[in-house]
Amino acid sequence: MEAQAKTSNWLRIILGLFLIIYALNQFVHFIPFTYGDMPENTRHFIDAVAHYLPFLYIFEILIGLLLIINKWTPFILIVLFPLTISFLVFNISNNDLTKIWPAVIVAFLNVLLLLNYKKKYQPLFS
């Protein structure tokens, strides 16, 4: 049981750090990353939501910090899940599966952590 708790802690910290680094990179651009040639629909979507993206990245940093300090973790994982799905769907719709790895990492870690905290969610489904 202790090994599972240790693993869960590491996964939580890794997810938090990944979210913080990814969001900070959108402001500071210290990791070269591009979405490449996007389909026209994807470009229109990005143009439509561009003014909301800085708020999303600030929210991601806040979520990452809360995960690292282990504050409200079960709640934060539920809040993060729809963002994870939208991140994954956006990257799949981008038609360049070589650049989908950040979304897959976030989705994988989020699902693993949700499964680790499933006992906390049982009252929601009873």
- Record the pTM: 0.90
21-69 pLDDT, tens per residue? 999 999 998 988 766 677 888 788 888 999 999 999 999 999 999 999 9
pLDDT computed for residue 58 by the predictor: 97
Rg (CA), the chain: 16
Query: Could you count the other beta carbons within 10 Å of the beta carbon of residue 113?
Result: 21
For 73-122, write each residue's pLDDT tens digit: 999 999 999 999 999 998 888 877 888 899 999 999 999 999 999 999 99
> What is the pLDDT at residue 34?
67
**Both tokens of residue 122?**
């049982």
Helix, strand, coil shares of the chain, percent, nearest 5, are: 80, 0, 20
Half-sphere exposure of 88 (CA within 13 A, CB side): 14
pLDDT at 36: 64
Residue 19, amino acid: L
